[in-house]
Structures are given as C-alpha cells and as structure tokens.
Structure 1
Amino acid sequence: MHEVSLNRVITDYLTGLEIMDTTYEDLRQALAKLLVEDRKYPRENIRSKYPLDYAISGEPHSVALDLAVFSPEGDPLLALVFCPGEVGTFVRESVAAARIHLPSPFPLVIVTDSMDLQLVETRTAEVIGTGFNAVPRWGDLPALALEHPCPKPGEDRLDKERRILAAYDGLGGPCCGGECGI
C-alpha cells in the first residue's frame, strides 16, 4: 500500500504515541479500534505498520502489514491488510506476505477495503469468512489459528512467495513519488 503524509500529527490508538497522519492512517486506526473495542484484542498483541523485510537474490525488499496480531507468547496469529481497491485482487499478495513471515507464517489473513472484508486461511488461500462479522473475537482467534495451521514453507517455496510479493508490490509503481512514510 502506498501512502502519502498529510503533514499533520495524530495520536496512535494502539500506543498513545504521536505519529504522522497519512492517506490511509484513519482506516488503520479504525481497524485497530475495531479489534480492541469490539473484538476485545489486547492492544499489546497488535503491531501497527508491522515491517516485513525479506530478500530476493540478496536484494533487500520491505513491505508493511497494516496490523499484525500475535499471541501472548509472540506467535503470529493474524495479518490484517488494508487494500485500496477490490478486496479479491489483493488476497494473493497478502497471502504471500503472511507465508514469508519468519520464523513462522501468519495462519490467518484479513484483507479489507473498509467496506468489504475477507478472512483467508494462509496455507490454502481459501476464503473462510466474509464481511466484518468474520473478524474473529480475541477469545476465538487462537483456536481458529490452530484449525488452520500454516507450516513454514521450504526454501524454494519461500523464494517463490517472496517473488510473488515483490511482483505485486512493484505493480503499484514508484511509491508516492518518494513521499511514502511507512
């Protein structure tokens, strides 16, 4: 996702720290608020703009997951990605990102444009829920993740997933003319 700074500072819902506002930050903040207030996720288990660094043939790449949810023990549970377009067209890219997370993949991915939402199982890329009611409650999330395990792919598969992610990321063109702040 390519964002442009709006040249103003806001208070981050999750951390209480001041952050730069961007074209999509209001959506990220609303999704974090939904997870915490409606679905009862502990703030400390959610990371905003979670960096996902990887390399292809030694060349560094990086993307950011809008929200990443971890168990109290630090295990990845859910990656949440905002997409500025048709949700279904962003599922493959989001699944690739979830699969390459190390040391282990995110077993579940949510892809949303703020009006539509798909809950996806990472291993098979199968949509297992649609609409905002598909967002699991915190108490149900660990069991749901266990129902849909995603083992770490082999090195050959990881390389392919990294290349898929880089290809999709590259389709967006140059990032905001160099102004991207994520």
Structure 2
Amino acid sequence: MGACESFLYGKEPETVNGANGQITKGMRVQTQYTIAEGGDGRWYMGKVTRLYGNNRCRIYYDDGDTWTGNAMEVYSMQGPPPSASAGAPGMPPVGGVPMGMPMGAPVVQAMVVSQPVKLPPIPSPTPADSNENTCPVCQVNKMDMVLQCGHRLCGNCTKDIVEKRNGQCPVCRVQITQVIRSYN
C-alpha cells in the first residue's frame, strides 16, 4: 500500500472540490465555525493535511486544532473570498470588511470594536521578582492587566498596544475589547 493510500479511505485524490475552487493537499484554507454549529462565528485558517475520495479533507488549523469534513465548507486562501451568504445572519463583519463587500485580501480572524476600549487606571510599572512571571511583551514588568481573552500584560504595554498599535492581543491576536486591572 502506498503512502497516500489507506485501507479505510482508499487512494488519496490529488484535488477535492472546495467552496471556491479546487483544494489540494498542503493548501492554505479557511473555514467558519458558525454559531449554528455551536461556534463563535469566526473564520479560522489552516493547512490541508489529507484529502479523501468522498470530497472530504482534513485541516490542521493555525491554533493547533484539526478538523475533517466536507471540502465544500472549505475556502481556499487563493480563490475568491466568501460571499455574504457564508456569514451567519446578524454576525459582525468578518476581517473588518462588511459581509458581501468585495475583499482583495484573504479573510482574517477579527472582531470589530465599535467604540474605543476603555482602559482602567494604569499603575506605575513594577519590575517582576525573580519568581514571578513577566509581561510577555516587555519581559520586565509584573502583569497587572487582563484582557478579555485571558492573556495578561503589564499596564504600560497594554496602554501602548491599545492606543498606538493595532489593538490586538500580542499573544493570540484577538482584538482587544476589554481590559481589567489585576491586583495579584
């Protein structure tokens, strides 16, 4: 039996039919984890690791998850972007672009923030002791701020990211929508 064959699934095809064109092994793709299926409505990107003869494929996502399913639910990053019908009704725009609008760039995970993030009072920076975890950005100060995604940063780095940079968590790249002061 060859490397691309298996007893259960048969010979691996060279392509399968995706939502916006042909999908091949190793291709960068994206799928939406819809609200209807219990997800968060966001788009997730990954790489196709296996194709199956029944127009199915397996994806290894950038966040480490895997999925095997119908290739018609998979959008190639090289093909045309998903249309408005791909989004769940009432969902915010995907990738910062309203649903149905033409997009030149691939869809990325994003959350649109309609109002500026309100920062709590920022304490003076305090260097971490040798046995304490340090801020993942500056790697010096104690982490005294918590983002809605659960990641922690020091106040100075949080303020800089929210006010001067892209406003995304530097660890998981989720748009920052809430910052809470931590006292321990």
Q: Do they fold alike, i.e. is TM over 0.5?
A: no
TM-score (norm 1): 0.24
Structure with bigger strand share is: 1
Structure whose CA Rg is larger: 2
Considering Cα pairs closer than 8 Å and 6+ residues apart, tell me whether 1 or 2 has the greater RCO: 1
